[in-house]
Amino acid sequence: MTENRCLAWDGCVNVRDLGGLKTCDGHVTRWGAVVRSDHPARLTAAGWSALYAHGIRTIISLRTHGMTEDVPDTAPRPSDLTTVCAAIEDVTEPDDSFVQKWCTNELWCTPLYYRDALDRWPERHAAALSVIARAQPGGVLIHCKRGVDRTGIMTLLLLTLVGVAPDDIVADYELSLDPEREALLAREHTSTRDVLYATLDWLDIEAYLREGGLSQDDLAALRARFLEPVGTEGR
């Protein structure tokens, strides 16, 4: 992985381009196609200018249904950006076992909950990926509040779909620094790396996304949008 995937957008602290990653079949992920971040509402005017200059034209705000998460913009965003809210989790379901298991403790902010979330909401995750597949020309920004876990789940799905190696997927997640995360997971007798590798080993990405309702056209569109042709260099 290349160090310049981390982007300095004034106001945000956890921004990186998902380009420049090799896949198992010889492709490379395209620079500027998908960027992950913490909440862009914190961007200053200079930060918005940097986002726009990077080519971002669509913002996908990853939400949890049942939570109020609107954050006012610190500075005006460019007028021709498209913003789509995609709720990939739900804390209003009658079966509140997810809330009891994860939301009442600190583990909701760790990848330990990923597999449970993926099991529960394949349709929600597939729908969020379909927004990327069908976005207008230009780059797509995916974000949540911290740019770590909801964003981490969607990044894991997208990178797995296009064939990025598990080592690089885990390494990308670890760039989202959280000094408390390892201590929380150690309390559960595991670690970030162990949890993510186990999740990736369990995940049959094509079957999962088809179960969620993602069409073959959307799968092809995601790959075409996110991958450079074999033998080319993205930047």
Count the domains in the chain: 1
Is 110 domain-assigned? yes
- Range(s) of the domain holding residue 199: 3-223
Q: What is the pLDDT of residue 3?
A: 55
Structure tokens that stand for 99 in this block:
């809330």
Q: Do 157 and 125 touch, CB atoms closer than 8 A?
A: yes
Say which DSSP state 99 is in.
I
Using alpha carbons, list the distances in angstroms from residue 193 to 26, 63, 81, 155.
25, 25, 35, 15
DSSP string, 76-127: PPPTT-EEEEEEEEES--S-THHIIIIITSGGGGSGGGHHHHHHH-HHHHHH
CATH number at residue 68: 3.90.190.10
Q: Do 195 and 114 touch, CB atoms closer than 8 A?
A: yes
Among 118, 115, 142, which Cα is nearest to 222's?
Answer: 142
Q: What is the pLDDT of residue 104?
A: 83
Is 97 domain-assigned? yes
Q: What is the pLDDT of residue 1?
A: 42
Q: What is the pLDDT of residue 234?
A: 45
> Is residue 153 classed as helix, strand or coil in its secondary structure?
helix
Place of tokens 């498209």: 82
Q: What is the pLDDT of residue 218?
A: 97
Q: What is the pLDDT of residue 2?
A: 47
Nearest-10 Cα torsion for 179, 182, 186, 190: 170
Is 235 domain-assigned? no
Is 233 domain-assigned? no
Among 33, 55, 45, which Cα is nearest to 77's?
Answer: 45
Is 148 domain-assigned? yes
Is 231 domain-assigned? no
Is 229 domain-assigned? no
Q: What is the pLDDT of residue 212?
A: 98
pLDDT averaged per 10 residues in sequence order, the chain, 235 residues: 81 97 96 98 98 98 92 95 97 86 88 96 98 98 96 98 98 91 93 97 98 97 94 55
Is 211 domain-assigned? yes
Strand partners, 84: 60
Q: Do 211 and 122 touch, CB atoms closer than 8 A?
A: yes
Q: What is the pLDDT of residue 43?
A: 98
Q: Do 223 and 209 touch, CB atoms closer than 8 A?
A: no
Q: What is the pLDDT of residue 233?
A: 53
**What stretches of 40-96 show up as alpha helix (H) in DSSP?**
45-53
